[in-house]
Amino acid sequence: SGEEQLPRLFQFHKDGFLVLEQFFSAEECDSMRKQIQRIVAEMEVPPHCRITFSTRQEEQLQQQGSSDYFVTSGDKIRFFFEKGVMDEKGNFLIPKEKSISKIGHALHAYDPVFKQITHSPKVQELGRKLGLERPVVVQSMYIFKSLLAVTPHQDASFLHTEPLGRILGFWIALEDATQENGCLWFIPGSHTNGINRRMVRAASGASTCVEFVGSEPAYDDKQFIPLPINKGGLILIHGEVVHKSELNSSESSRHAFTFHVMEAKGTTWSKENWLQPTPELPFPSLYT
C-alpha cells in the first residue's frame, strides 16, 4: 500500500539502504538458480584463463587479456573466477560451479529468466514509488559468493554519474544470507558524503584497462551493521552508501542476483566508467 511505503522510503533516504523481505517468491529464486546452472554447464572457459605464464611478458599478456575481458563484458554474459581454481592449463581443480565468483554484466538483457525478473512489474512499481522517471538498467551480476570477502566500497566508484545520487542497486537474495555465509554489511547514512575513489578506464597502452583514482579511507568496523536477509528478499542500495561482505565461513553458498539502475533524466553517465553502453546494447529502460 502507498501509505505503508512512505515511511520506508524515508528510511531509505536516511540510511542509504532498505530491506524488503519476501519481495520475490521462492519459485522465482529457484528459477534463477536453475537458469544459472544451465549457463554454467554450457560455459566456455575464457582464453586468458588458459594462458600459462612463465615470463613477465606472458603474465602481462594474461593481465591484459583478463582486464580486456572484464572491460568489454558490459553487453555480454561472461564468467569471473575465484583465484587459484584452475591449473596452468585452464582445467578446474574444483567443481566449476564452485570456481566462479560471478557472472556479468548483461544477464538482464540477454537471458530470458533474468530479463523477466529485472523488468518484473513489482520492480517497475518499486521504481515508480522511488520517483524514478527514466530509469535504465546499466548492468547485472549473478554472485556466487563461495568464499571471498568484498572490501568496503561504494557502487558509484565504479558507476559514476553527474550529478551523483542517480545509481541504485537492487540486490536479491536467492538463498538466505546470514552472518555466517557472508551477508551484506552497511554504514547507515554513509551515502551523504560523496565518493572517495573512482575506477576509470586507463589510458590506451596501459597494462590493465582500468585504474583507480583516489583511495578508500579506512572505515571503522564498528560503524557497519549486518543485514541478514531471507531467500527472496531485496536490498535497495544507494549508489554512494558504504557496504561490504565478510568471508563466507559456512558450508552453504550465498547466491544473489543484483542489478543497477540509473535515473537517466538529467543525468550524464561518465565517459570514464569501465562500463559503457554499446550500439549492440544501449542501456534498456526499466519500464518496458
**Does any domain span residue 275?**
no
Residue 149 corresponds to which amino acid?
A
pLDDT on residue 5:
61
Cα separation of the two ends of the chain: 23
**Does any domain span residue 263?**
yes
Calculate mean pLDDT across residues 80-99.
Answer: 85
Residue 176 corresponds to which amino acid?
D
Digit-coded pLDDT (tens) for 100-159: 999 999 999 999 999 999 999 999 999 999 999 999 999 999 999 777 789 999 999 999
pLDDT on residue 221:
94
Contact 128, 201 (CB under 8 A): no
pLDDT of 4 strictly over 60: no
- In total, how many domains does the chain have? 1
**Does any domain span residue 81?**
no
pLDDT on residue 6:
65
Phi and psi of 89, rounded to 5°?
-90, 0
Separation of alpha carbons 151 and 131, rounded Å: 31
Enter the C-alpha cell of residue 103.
557472472
Mean pLDDT, the chain, rounded, equals 92
Phi and psi of 157, rounded to 5°?
-65, -30
**Does any domain span residue 104?**
no
Q: Annotate 215-229 with b (16+ C-beta within 10 A) or e (fewer).
A: eeeeeeeeebeebbb
pLDDT of 267 strictly over 70: yes
**What is the C-alpha radius of gyration for the chain, rounded to an integer number of angstroms?**
19
CATH of the domain at 184: 2.60.120.620
pLDDT of 2 strictly over 60: no
- Point out the least confidently predicted range of 34-38, 66-70, 227-231: 66-70
Write down the pTM of the prediction: 0.94
pLDDT on residue 86:
86
**Does any domain span residue 87?**
no
**Does any domain span residue 196?**
yes
Give the domain extent around 24.
Answer: 4-32+115-269
Digit-coded pLDDT (tens) for 146-187: 777 899 999 999 999 999 999 999 999 999 999 999 999 999
pLDDT on residue 198:
96
Enter the C-alpha cell of residue 102.
560471478
